[in-house]
């Protein structure tokens, strides 16, 4: 399995991306880390799936270019798997197709919100979903995203507790021939080092790769 891991932006990716890179290597995955994302423009794209641990915005001068947007859309629709982590789905806020690709996610206009980073419970919503295989309900120190954009055909597999309500924070979806996993956990190194988070990510890799 060859993974393109796209990083960079206004989040502590300098701490979290090395955690993912190490996790992939330790589980016999080939991985290339990029912040330029120029690989999305290549006519000879040579990866099985894409992992987004990034936030691309014009205000930080790292938004995906038009060609990169076209490349991402084409690749996923033609069957390349996608795993979107934490804030990644908020990338390219002026490009509506991004949320269609990821099945939704954080909305930057103020609709989405989260309590201060802290402890909350992660609940399994569908015990039969392959992404939660070997995952038990757990407590994590992270950001619990609320009021996310959420598409009708999503399949929620985990939710997070806020004010005695459970919010969808992990789902799978399809975009053309591509399979997508979106997990909104993983703000910091603390959250990404959690064994259950890492199991969710590894399961996601297998799920989006097995078409």
Task: List all residues 6 or more positions away from 137 whose beta carbon is below 8 Å from its beta carbon.
Answer: 121, 122, 123, 124
User: What is the reported pLDDT for 38?
Assistant: 96
Q: What percent of the chain has pLDDT over 90?
A: 93
Long-range own/partner contacts, residues 170-173 (CB < 8 A, 24 or more apart): 170/131, 170/200, 171/103, 171/104, 172/103, 172/129, 172/131, 172/207, 172/208, 173/102, 173/103
Q: What backbone torsions phi and psi does residue 83 show, to the nearest 5 degrees?
A: -120, 120
User: What is the reported pLDDT for 70?
Assistant: 98
By the 10 Å C-beta count (0-12 exposed, 13-18 middle, 19+ buried), 67 is classed as exposed
Q: Domain map of the chain by residue range?
A: 2-209
User: What is the reported pLDDT for 164?
Assistant: 85
Class of domain 2-209: alpha beta
User: Would the CA dihedral through 155, 137, 13, 116 be positive or negative?
Assistant: positive
* pLDDT tens-digit map of 146-188: 999 999 999 999 999 998 889 999 999 999 999 999 999 999 9
In this prediction, residues 37-58 reach a mean pLDDT of 96
Cα-based distances in Å from 31 to 18, 89, 112, 129, 190: 11, 21, 31, 25, 22
Task: Give the global pTM.
Answer: 0.96
Identify the three-state secondary structure at position 67: helix
User: What is the reported pLDDT for 210?
Assistant: 80
Exposure string (b/e) for 119-133, b if CB count within 10 Å is 16 or more?
A: ebebebbeeebebbe
In this prediction, residues 63-68 reach a mean pLDDT of 96
Confidence band of 37 (pLDDT split at 50, 70, 90): very high
What does DSSP say about strands 104-105 and 149-150: parallel, antiparallel, or unpaired? antiparallel
- Residue 130 clears pLDDT 90, i.e. is over it: yes
In this prediction, residues 40-55 reach a mean pLDDT of 97
The DSSP 8-state label assigned to residue 196 in this structure reads H
- DSSP E strands in 35-164: the ranges are 49-54, 81-85, 104-105, 118-124, 138-142, 149-150, 155-162
User: What is the reported pLDDT for 146?
Assistant: 95
* pLDDT tens-digit map of 90-119: 999 999 999 999 999 999 887 999 999 999
Can you tell me the distance from the alpha carbon of 180 to that of 126, in angstroms, rounded to the nearest whole number? 17
User: What is the reported pLDDT for 77?
Assistant: 98
User: What is the reported pLDDT for 60?
Assistant: 84
User: What is the reported pLDDT for 211?
Assistant: 58
User: What is the reported pLDDT for 183?
Assistant: 99
């Amino acid at each position: 399995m060859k993974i393109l891991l796209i990083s960079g932006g206004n989040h502590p990716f300098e701490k979290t991306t090395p955690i993912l890179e190490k996790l992939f290597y330790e589980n016999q995955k080939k991985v290339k880390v990029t912040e330029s994302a120029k690989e999305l423009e290549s006519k000879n794209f040579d990866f099985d799936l894409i992992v987004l641990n990034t936030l691309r915005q014009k205000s930080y001068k790292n938004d995906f270019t038009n060609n990169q947007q076209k490349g991402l859309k084409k690749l996923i629709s033609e069957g390349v798997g996608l795993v979107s982590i934490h804030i990644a789905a908020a990338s390219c806020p002026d490009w509506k197709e991004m949320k269609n690709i990821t099945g939704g996610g954080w909305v930057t206009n103020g609709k989405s919100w989260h309590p201060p980073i802290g402890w909350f419970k992660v609940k399994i919503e569908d015990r039969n979903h392959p992404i939660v295989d070997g995952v038990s309900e757990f407590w994590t120190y992270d950001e619990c995203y609320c009021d996310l954009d959420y598409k009708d055909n999503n399949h929620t597999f985990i939710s997070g507790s806020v004010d005695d309500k459970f919010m969808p924070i992990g789902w799978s979806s399809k975009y053309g021939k591509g399979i997508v996993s979106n997990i909104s956990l993983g703000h910091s190194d603390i959250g990404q080092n959690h064994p259950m988070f890492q199991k969710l990510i590894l399961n996601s890799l297998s799920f989006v790769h097995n078409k």
